Amino acid sequence: MATRALVTGAGGFIGHHMVKYLVAAGYWVRGVDVKEPEYEPSAAQEFELLDLRRWDNCLMATRGVDEVYSFAADMGGIGYINEHHVDSARNNVLISTHMLEASRTNGVSRFFFSSSACVYPQYLQSSPDVKPLKEEDASPYDPDEGYGWEKLFTEKLCQYYYEDCGLETRVARFHNVYGPLGTYDGGKEKAPAAICRKVALATPGDEIEVWGDGLQTRSFMHVDDCTEGVFRLLHSEHHQPLNLGTDYLITINGLVDLVSAIAGKPVKRRHNMEGPQGVRGRNSDNSRLRTVLGWEPSILLKDGLDVTFHWIEEQLIKDGSITSSYSGTS
Ligand code: GKE
């Protein structure tokens, strides 16, 4: 009989891709979210609209499944999480707390929690040439306000459920996941999708707005590497938090140059120093990831961005924002 999995946040970006990954691997999947996937139907055999801040809904969602992949969260890029401390902290702590207890109550065998690089302390991320972050660098704690604190709290709760109740919890700290079928507008988008949208909408030679001076650095991971890494981690015996990201560091100005080259469209950068910046630098140290999983993310940023840019450009044509794909001849 097929292994039965619950994916929460299945109407969202990573959750939707995780459903596709598991169904392709032969799983029976229940997808749960407060909304259906935005850009294509879910691949899940069963999809339920449930608010997982409620205990009774978490009991319902976790009935009769072997594995839980917990992605449901009130979240977004730095522009969102900086402005919504209550929403991201309160909603996510309710979801995570009830989901862990419901999973234990319903005898789930393995539980994955999507944590975030936002748990890492600000004092280690104050310069663009940041030292790649190792898992043990998380303490002494000074995570991002709101979203970061909730992720840190739930990491601890996962540890307690493992130690006190024997629930096989697994935790990955995602480092800025991007890819097609993700949010690219409306305020919750992260930098890769935002820059793709701005370049796609720009007239050649136009200015596009970049938050901050663009010298701030990040590493970015394609969603297909994310789902592969989550699956491997859940089926490993590693139950401490593990980085899941790439260690290819790039400035945001460099990200703009990459997208501009993919589009074949020259753009100028207008730096909005009032824009939300988050940390000045963040990168993943993948030493433990390589040891624990015998694998690491391998999709190159330029390749992943190429697919992502053209998908976003296609959405903008569909909604009439642009008339056609830019051919690169000015
Ligand atoms: N979203 C966005 N939109 N970011 C921009 C833009 C823009 O138009 N222009 C420049 N940036 C810069 C931001 O100022 C920030 O310094 C950098 O890109 C990355 O922003 P982001 O992708 O929105 O989010 P962060 O990496 O700062 O933080 C995110 O990290 C994730 C885990 O790696 C969080 O918002 C969560 O989505 C998550 O924890």
Residues 170 and 259 in one domain: no
Indicate whether residue 276 lines ligand 1 (CB < 6 A): yes
Write out pLDDT tens, residues 299-313.
Answer: 999 999 999 999 999
What six digits make up the tokens of 329? Answer: 């001849």
For residue 68, what is the enclosing H or E element? Answer: strand 67-70
Cα gap 193→179, rounded to integer Å = 8
Atom of ligand 1 nearest to the CA of 118: 39
> Residue 292 domain-assigned?
no
Q: Which residues contact 57 (CB under 8 A, 6 or more apart)?
A: 50, 51, 98
Write out pLDDT tens, residues 259-273.
Answer: 999 999 999 999 999
Q: For residue 11, what is the DSSP state?
A: T
Q: Whose CA is nearest to atom 20 of ligand 1?
A: 191
Region 217-236: mean pLDDT is 98
Q: Whose CA is nearest to atom 18 of ligand 1?
A: 191
Q: Whose CA is nearest to atom 3 of ligand 1?
A: 191
First to last CA, the chain: 57
Residues 272 and 165 in one domain: no
What six digits make up the tokens of 247? Answer: 């260690």
> Residue 58 domain-assigned?
yes
Work out the angle at residue 93's Cα, subtended by the Cα atoms of residues 136 and 16, and round it to the nearest 5 degrees.
85
Mean pLDDT over the full length of the chain: 97
Burial class (CB in 10 A: 0-12, 13-18, 19+), 223: buried
Region 25-40: mean pLDDT is 98
92-105 vs 147-165: helix axis angle to the nearest 10? 20
Write out pLDDT tens, residues 98-137.
Answer: 999 999 999 999 999 999 999 999 999 999 999 999 999 9
Whole-number Å distance, alpha carbon 84 to ligand 1 midpoint, is 14
Asked if residue 185 lies in contact with residue 200, where contact means CB atoms within 8 angstroms, the answer is no
Indicate whether residue 252 lines ligand 1 (CB < 6 A): yes
> Residue 277 domain-assigned?
yes
pLDDT at 330: 45
Alpha helices, H only, the chain: 13-24, 55-61, 78-81, 85-86, 92-105, 147-165, 191-201, 223-234, 252-263, 287-293, 301-318
Query: Where in the sequence numbering do the catalytic residues fall?
Result: 147
> Residue 89 domain-assigned?
yes
Indicate whether residue 116 lines ligand 1 (CB < 6 A): yes
Phi, psi angles (nearest 5°) of residue 211: -75, 130
Q: What is the edge-to-edge ordering of all strands in the sheet holding 46-49?
A: 46-49, 28-33, 4-8, 67-70, 110-116, 168-174, 242-244
Write out pLDDT tens, residues 178-191.
Answer: 999 999 999 999 99
- Count: domains in the chain: 2
Region 228-238: mean pLDDT is 98
Atom of ligand 1 nearest to the CA of 192: 22
What six digits make up the tokens of 181? Answer: 């079928």
Asked if residue 244 lies in contact with residue 229, where contact means CB atoms within 8 angstroms, the answer is yes
Asked if residue 267 lies in contact with residue 207, where contact means CB atoms within 8 angstroms, the answer is yes
Whole-number Å distance, alpha carbon 164 to ligand 1 midpoint, is 36
Rg (CA), the chain: 19
Whichever domain contains 310, its CATH number is: 3.90.25.10
Whole-number Å distance, alpha carbon 110 to ligand 1 midpoint, is 31
pLDDT at 272: 98
Closest CA to 194 of 33, 308, 51, 60: 308
> Residue 85 domain-assigned?
yes
> Residue 55 domain-assigned?
yes
Residues 122 and 200 in one domain: no
pLDDT at 329: 54
For residue 69, what is the enclosing H or E element? Answer: strand 67-70
pLDDT at 162: 98
Indicate whether residue 77 lines ligand 1 (CB < 6 A): yes
Q: Give whole-number Cα distances, 151 to 89, 111, 221, 237, in Å.
A: 8, 15, 19, 21
> Residue 288 domain-assigned?
no
Residues 153 and 203 in one domain: no
Closest CA to 178 of 18, 262, 7, 301: 301
Region 33-60: mean pLDDT is 98
Asked if residue 103 lies in contact with residue 68, where contact means CB atoms within 8 angstroms, the answer is yes
Residues 193 and 213 in one domain: yes
Q: Give whole-number Cα distances, 272 to 78, 202, 276, in Å.
A: 14, 17, 9
The domain of 80 spans 4-175+223-244
Question: 18 by DSSP, 3-state: which?
Answer: helix
Whichever domain contains 115, its CATH number is: 3.40.50.720
Cα gap 133→172, rounded to integer Å = 14
Write out pLDDT tens, residues 56-115.
Answer: 999 999 999 999 999 999 999 999 999 999 999 999 999 999 999 999 999 999 999 999
Cα gap 241→235, rounded to integer Å = 14
> Residue 325 domain-assigned?
no
pLDDT at 60: 98
Indicate whether residue 72 lines ligand 1 (CB < 6 A): no
Q: Whose CA is nearest to atom 4 of ligand 1?
A: 191
Closest CA to 119 of 275, 243, 220: 243
Residues 94 and 236 in one domain: yes
pLDDT at 327: 73
Atom of ligand 1 nearest to the CA of 173: 32
Cα gap 223→176, rounded to integer Å = 9
Q: What confidence category does residue 326 fall into, taking pLDDT thresholds of 50, 70 and 90?
A: confident
